[in-house]
Structure 1
């Protein structure tokens, strides 16, 4: 996958997510001179990356005359402090891409203009190892070419899906944005259950981590539906079958997960209001 830019890609925020994207872009053929990084205190490893590739770091915003994309990757709680300082980039009519949870397209339009091309996205933390997934929703001012450019930029950290309605971003946040925490907690619970059955703590955790990580990789590589993979490892009346009778009961994992996703979706809506 090659990323083609005619102007400048302005990265606002070089933390874990922004830094992961920057690394992915450089590997995908983005030339260092096409990038500007705006961050007062990037992590040492990202600062070293900027210096290694001679990427423009914190130039005066007024000197950036050809912004093609402004990708905002700062924490939501500081967004309103940061955006006024980069809003002048709107004179170049760039594509504005947000990777901040809880910030609506309308909140960016207040800074970049009602006619600005804006894409709201929600990535997740596996992006740090190139195994993330990002959902994006665009407003009516985003062109087909800009959609494709955004998809290519976001593909640097994993898979990309598009949702037509911005309101669905809240459900995406609940499923994939917060989802890694559910998987990590499942790993914790699996290890604790092993300890309860007599396994040493370190061995139980090693078994749980390797099982969760390996199962995820098998699902990714095989491309088979999760249901098929589950059925493939479930022998009639065997040990897996016995455990699934508990997990798949009426009061088992499915209704509990639905309640969890509902709670996260509602909270995402509250944060965006």
Structure 2
């Protein structure tokens, strides 16, 4: 039976772990190290062995086959974590920490070279994450399969061949849900500005976007769907013309995503 350790079981780590438990993922026993785990989360994840720190794992002489790093990047960088006696050469390390490179992780995990970075998003909370991973070329196919099988429990999955592309992934899918939520907020506010009461504007903005997302989930062609719902010279065309004036919407999206990528690069310590 594989021993799987989650270092951090907050929103992202907890969401992924909950999905693994509900799907009876593999032949695994699950462990958590998280000193800040609240009571409700601890009860939900009570089938796992829960520890406040790594020292308690050492006292139990535990060695893990998979280590899932889901603490905040600054906690990882500013801590003196030591995994030497908790892992072995074939331990698979999967990190969802933004901006922390495989090389940086390897300094804390010198006993294994099976290190994989992954960028999921908040959709993991309901099993609809868009996750992307990178690993160095020496990582074994078995380790890649373990990471892919794990992350597909919470949504779609893809690989990139360059670690630098993880910055672009962060700007698109990692931060992307927030762009969507901000657009819904803007639609709601515009609706109230046009005279709708706040409750109705809220309902229409949210349910409209949910309905549109469901269509996109099936057809997966945003251009075809946009054309389908846009009558020539109609109301939708008038709105889209306003969005596209001077290519405003595309320029704004490019600018926003470039800002996210720049911040991701900055957090990684690269210039």
Quick check: TM above 0.5? yes
Q: Runs of 5+ in structure 2 lacking a partner?
A: none
* Structure 1 Cα separation of the partners of residues 95 and 210 of structure 2: 29
1:202-213 equivalences under 5 Å are 202-213=199-210
CA distance in 2 between partners of 1:56 and 1:269 (Å) = 36
- 2:268 counterpart of 1:262: no
- Cα distance change, pair 114–94 in 1 and its aligned pair in 2 (3 A): closer
Q: Confirm whether residue 95 of structure 1 aligns to residue 92 of structure 2.
A: yes
Could you give the per-residue CA deviations for residues 117-143 of structure 1, whole angstroms, max 9, x where no partner exists?
Answer: 111111111111111111100112311
- Post-superposition shift, 1:174? 0.5
Corresponding residue number in structure 2 for 1:38: 33
Q: Tell me the distance in 2 between the aligned counterparts of 1:184 and 1:87.
A: 42
Task: Check if 1:185 corresponds to 2:178.
Answer: no
Question: How far does residue 240 in structure 1 lie from its aligned partner after superposition?
Answer: 0.6
User: What CA distance in whole angstroms lies between the structure 2 residues aligned with 1:253 and 1:183?
Assistant: 14
* Range moving further from structure 2, 95-104 or 137-146: 137-146
2:197 counterpart of 1:195: no
Q: Map 1:1-273; keep pairs closer than 5 Å.
A: 6-30=1-25, 34-51=29-46, 53=47, 55-58=48-51, 60-62=56-58, 63-82=60-79, 84-113=81-110, 116-220=113-217, 222-273=218-269
User: Which stretch shifts more, 108-117 or 223-232?
Assistant: 108-117
Match in the other structure for 1:3: none
> What is the CA-CA distance between 1:114 and the residue it aligns to?
8.2
Task: Check 1:219–1:87 CA distance in 2 against 1; reply closer, same or farther (3 A cut).
Answer: farther
Give distance in 2, aligned partners of 1:21 and 1:64. Answer: 26
Aligned equivalents of 1:211, 1:25: Cα separation in 2: 31
Secondary structure of the equivalent of 1:90?
coil
Cα distance between partner residues in 2 of 1:249 and 1:88: 60
Per the normalisation by structure 2, the TM-score is 0.91
Distance, in Å, in 2 between the alignment partners of 1:14 and 1:202 is 35
Query: 2-side partners of 1:249 and 1:211: how far apart?
Result: 24
User: TM-score scaled to structure 1, two decimals?
Assistant: 0.91
Describe the shift of the 1:238–1:98 C-alpha distance in structure 2 as closer, same or farther (beyond 3 A).
same
Q: Secondary structure of the equivalent of 1:9?
A: strand
SS at match of 1:91: coil
Q: Is the 8 A contact 2:4 2:28 kept in 1?
A: no
CA distance 1:261–1:163, change in 2 (3 Å): same
Secondary structure of 2:85's partner? helix
Q: In 2, are the aligned partners of 1:120 and 1:137 still within 8 Å (CA)?
A: yes
- Classify 1:268/1:82 alpha carbon distance in 2 versus 1 (closer, same or farther; 3 Å): same
Number of corresponding residues: 265
